[in-house]
């Protein structure tokens, strides 16, 4: 199953340089890496990244995360994936730029 992480340009550059990431500032504060399912992605973009450009979408494979991935209630009681270890380059199946248009953020196909 694929789940998704959104990074700002600097966060993505740092992960590429180090080969892993403890996440964005909100992840560091909460003690886990926040991720979203395909159905949750637009809500995450609207709530946490409204109007932001230079975003990268990371498609992450849940199979590589094993027991470090937990599904926990969050926004509106929905179960969100939370990763309790650094996100690794090996977790990522593909990446792409998120385009900001007049209709909001466009992620392209998520499969």
Residues 3-50 pLDDT 10s? 999 999 999 999 999 999 999 999 999 999 999 999 999 999 999 999
| d(C-alpha 56, C-alpha 35), whole Å | 13
**Mean per-residue pLDDT, 99-110:** 94
pLDDT band (50, 70, 90) for residue 111: confident
Structure confidence at residue 63 (pLDDT): 96
Q: For 2-101, give the CATH class.
A: alpha beta
Residue 102 has pLDDT above 80, yes or no: yes
pTM: 0.94
Strand partners, 3: 60
Are 84 and 70 in contact, with CB atoms under 8 Å apart?
Answer: yes
Average pLDDT over residues 40-61: 96
Specify which residues 34 forms β-bridges with. Answer: 82
What was the pLDDT predicted at 76?
87
**55-59, 73-77, 106-110: least confidently modelled range:** 73-77
| Angstrom distance (rounded) from CA 82 to CA 84 | 6
């Amino acid at each position: 199953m694929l789940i998704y992480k959104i990074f700002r340009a600097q966060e993505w550059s740092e992960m590429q340089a180090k080969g892993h990431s403890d996440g964005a500032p909100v992840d560091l504060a909460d003690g886990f890496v926040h991720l979203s399912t395909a159905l949750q992605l637009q809500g995450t973009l609207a709530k946490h990244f409204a109007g932001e450009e230079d975003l990268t979408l990371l498609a992450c494979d849940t199979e590589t995360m094993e027991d470090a991935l937990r599904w926990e209630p969050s926004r509106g009681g929905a179960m969100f994936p939370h990763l309790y270890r650094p996100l690794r380059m090996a977790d990522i199946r593909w990446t792409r730029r998120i385009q900001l248009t007049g209709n909001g953020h466009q992620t392209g196909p998520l499969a």
